Chains A and B, each alone.
Chain A
């Protein structure tokens, strides 16, 4: 029986209603005369505490509250890709058609076009036995995405008694009828799933394949694996959003879920404007054909921020279940944590650190636990992954605040953004000394097999130079650069080259925005070779000044944007030229000594 009660108290996004004894925890309810969407987050006697996902301005005690009997759920079926949703899967494009430039309240729309026809190709036949998760057929959702229609998870095994023939249908069409122990069950092209409940799978695998993002500091130095977790904390303006945009653009995944959680409206617009024109380098199709956006901007109702994270990750799991690699980026998880804090405050819960509720850590853990590379339920065998990357916005750029410290516990790749680097326009301002990747060893096999056996050593060699520079810098700070021997000055010089030529990457440059793994490797090799040659030259008695002013250096440093991936062979030429120039100065230098 659905609950029907009355509002007794309103304060911002928090509402209390009585007469709600039959409502369930986390059930969605319709609040007030304009039927605002809300969710029950506490029950005391017959009083329900409700967080409301829309503005409560004008709401008053006495108005009705009606249960829906359902937990907060999303609709899963073809038509999701390419859309922009709010935190509770309302399509913002369709909302605009009803309420114009601003987001109106109490607008109800279907998450996907229920009338659009898809060409359904069944892969099962009458009398086949199928279990939960099994693929029943395919439709082309976008030219980039073959969408599997699956038996919903948590379903009884059954036998197919009816399959529709290949043809064009809308998603309300019953495509398969199953005979189960509970009787005949019609299956449509979509089903619903509660967002707070992770979708089940058969088995979990270790993430061992890198997610290639085309970002050199990520792929080469601090890689993330498909099915892995990563966090990118940083003060304002340090490059979280740009990095997440880069991942969303260039990651070699099949589906991208972009969650804008409590961030800027224009950043969502930017994705909407840019992605349809950006061409995926692997498939030559617009990136929008693999992307779905969940947008709850900072000025949208705060409670829906919390929901947006769950909505997004549930969509990601759904595509994972088709056997696809999915990347989910969430900007910013701190705003989600703040939404938790705000509701917790209104519930008058006892706060833990900085007013955040004591369950902040467990909520973060639950979220990141939904990442993974898995074997999907049912047949045929499919392996899919959800990679989760969350931005963290620490107040005052202080990484000891609760959201950052708790997040660190649950992720394996940590890209620490550094305000000082950002101030000096070293972008992405990922601090190479404070960042780490727990997947380095796991993905090195992939690099060896797919790019080069030298990758691991080249990476280690160049990283070691950066580490040595870090110590030397301390000395320089006290005594000046002239206090160092030439060997060590050379290290400073080469570290500078690594920073400019590799680590710094301009997202807004046509060429620099993406580097293939091969290009990344060649760039590292070029500078490592430079160091080796320079060391030799020093031993031969060549002065550092001569080495430092070699005409090849600017070309090495600009190779990242002057040499596009198509002309990658030019990097080999550059390497050759460098060796030649060294030969020349060593030669003439030796002559001088003689």
Chain B
């Protein structure tokens, strides 16, 4: 396609929504980058979505406001959109299209990478197995994150997803190794204050110079959001696989991304799928989320924590739904817990880390880890059932064992889940707290734990007076409120 480089066209056939249709095309290729000059001399960028019959449909990232049929110029560059990269990108802030946004000059590029990336060959992937300690009990204990995983946070409006993501970014370290760690943060249509919170948090922990920020804020052009996660991940891949760093990529908020995609789809008058989102939303999101992982023969890794807000807290909405079908688990924030003032308000039952099984256990964390996690899930799930039952039949209608579970639920929320914003717990502490809770149940209830681990860790009643006290206090406080 080199022969089409820099051909300029001035015949604009149509402008609608975020799209501009250029006519009289002789040389243009699918996915090509287009440089647009408005009648006022302003420069914008666009991308070819469809080409044929002498026409090219161009998506204009900065929006079409101010473009005109007469006087607009479109230069077809002959290449796809690229991001210049070099070690100098660390510590820098870029806009949603990857242009410097911090007043500093463009970093000197070592190379230019196609922002779309290429699919990793599954045969060349290294299966992720290294435990990342986040210091957050509910994550380390029950939703373990491993290097190279993609584990999103499903949130709802007003809930503290950004605070949790920032805490993970600050505290994440990998047991037993001290290799380079970097953070890539992509703000996709979020408010200034949220991006600022994140930046400050990185600054305070001294991680800012090992971070790269991409900011498309709420008042920035919506269509630019299509590119923001892509440039961010291009840089993440570069840091991970060219420079050997362990990169944590945080993308927030993918709901805004999906809405930008819907806007383009609508402008193209495509047959919509559910809720007006295009039928290819799954594939499109997969092209972003699958850009996480590890590669054979390379040191680094890309771990993704995308954040999305579930419209109306509905997990079956197409955005969380399709995301869940692609990512390797999800951390779901629960409105009820949030209202109760529990931070982090992770609804563990709806949450899942699929790669946990390979990142924990003997030699990685502790041999009882997976059994403890399974039993905690089971216990909390039973406690929730009992809670629902208690609301109907009252405590009096419950059996003795049900009452024990009811207390376990409260203990779990108050002593295990709940944690301070700046509190980083060791894995030992997390597991020890877990055993406190499990030990409040009769030994015979622990059907998911091997006898040898029960022998080793189960604390018989007399050994744990103090914890019983806490549980009782917790349950009485919750019964007051109901």
Docked-complex contact A60 and B27, CB < 8 angstroms? yes
List residues of chain A with CB within 8 A of the CB of B114: 57
In the complex, what residue of chain A is closest to B329 when comparing beta carbons?
A237
Name which residue of chain B comes closest to A273, CB basis. Answer: B127
Complex contacts, B446 vs chain A, CB 8 Å: 554
A298 touches B286 (CB 8 A): yes
The chain B residue with its CB closest to the CB of A267 is B122
Q: Is B350 an interface residue (CB 8 A)?
A: yes
Q: Are A549 and B444 in contact (CB under 8 A)?
A: yes
A96 to B122, CA, bound (A): 10
Contact A302 B280 (CB under 8 A): yes
Query: Is A541 positioned at the interface, with any CB of B under 8 Å from its CB?
Result: no
Whether B53 lies near A9 (C-beta < 8 A) is yes
> Within the assembled complex, what's the spacing in Å between the Cα atoms of A314 and B325?
27
Looking at B119, B352, B398, B450, which has the most chain A CB atoms within 10 Å of its CB?
B119
In the bound assembly, the distance between CA atoms of A57 and B78 in angstroms comes to 11
Contact between B393 and A58, CB atoms less than 8 A apart: no
Residue of A nearest to B117 (CB): A102
Count, chain B residues at interface, CB 8 A: 87
- Could you tell me if A342 and B280 are in contact, using CB atoms closer than 8 angstroms? yes
Closest chain-A Cβ to B455's Cβ sits at a distance in Å of: 13
Which of B127, B282, B297, B451 makes the CB contact (< 8 A) with A558?
B451
**B290, B297, B357, B397: the one within 8 Å of A264 (CB):** B290
Q: Is A276 an interface residue (CB 8 A)?
A: no
Tell me, yes or no, whether B34 is within 8 Å of chain A by CB.
Answer: no
The B-contacting residues of A in range 556-577, CB under 8 angstroms, are 557-558, 561-562
Using an 8 Å CB-CB cutoff, how does the interface string of B1-41 with A read, 1 for contact, 0 for none? 10010000000000000000000010111111000000000
CB distance from A132 to the nearest CB of B (A): 35
CB within 8 A of B324: which of A61, A236, A266?
A236
User: Does A373 interact with chain B (Cβ within 8 Å)?
Assistant: no
Judged by a CB distance under 8 angstroms, whether A144 is at the interface is no
Q: Does B444 lie within 8 Å of A58, measured CB to CB?
A: no
Is the beta-carbon distance between A500 and B447 smaller than 8 angstroms? yes
Q: How many residues of A contact B (CB 8 A)?
A: 80
Among B293, B318, B450, the residue within 8 A (CB) of A561 is B450
A11 CB–B CB distance under 8 Å: yes
CA distance A9 to B128 in the complex (A): 41
CB proximity of A557 to chain B, nearest CB, Å: 4
* Binding-face segment, A249-257, A363-371, A393-401: A393-401
Report B267 CB to chain A, min CB distance, Å: 14
CA distance A398 to B314 in the complex (A): 14
**Does B378 reach chain A (CB closer than 8 Å)?**
yes
- Asked whether A269 is an interface residue with its Cβ less than 8 Å from the other chain, the reply is yes
Which of B206-214, B223-231, B269-277, B421-429 has 4 or more CB atoms under 8 Å from chain A? Answer: B269-277
Q: Does B313 contact A (CB under 8 A)?
A: no
B439 at the interface (CB under 8 A from A): no
Q: Is A478 an interface residue when CB atoms closer than 8 A count as contact? A: yes
Chain A contact residues, CB within 8 Å of chain B: 7-12, 16, 55-62, 84, 92-93, 95-96, 99-104, 235-237, 260, 262, 264-266, 268-270, 272-273, 295, 297-300, 302, 335, 338, 341-342, 345, 351, 354-355, 393, 395-398, 423-425, 476-483, 500, 506, 508, 549, 551, 553-554, 557-558, 561-562
Offer 8 A-B interface pairs, CB within 8 angstroms, sorted by A: A58-B29, A58-B30, A61-B28, A84-B123, A266-B127, A480-B398, A508-B370, A562-B451
Query: What 5 A-B pairs are tightest by C-beta distance, nearest first?
Result: A9-B52, A480-B397, A480-B393, A298-B286, A60-B29
Given contacts A266-B127, A298-B290, A558-B450, 14 further A-B contacts (CB under 8 A): A12-B280, A58-B30, A60-B32, A260-B122, A264-B290, A265-B119, A298-B286, A299-B283, A338-B283, A342-B279, A423-B350, A481-B399, A482-B397, A562-B451
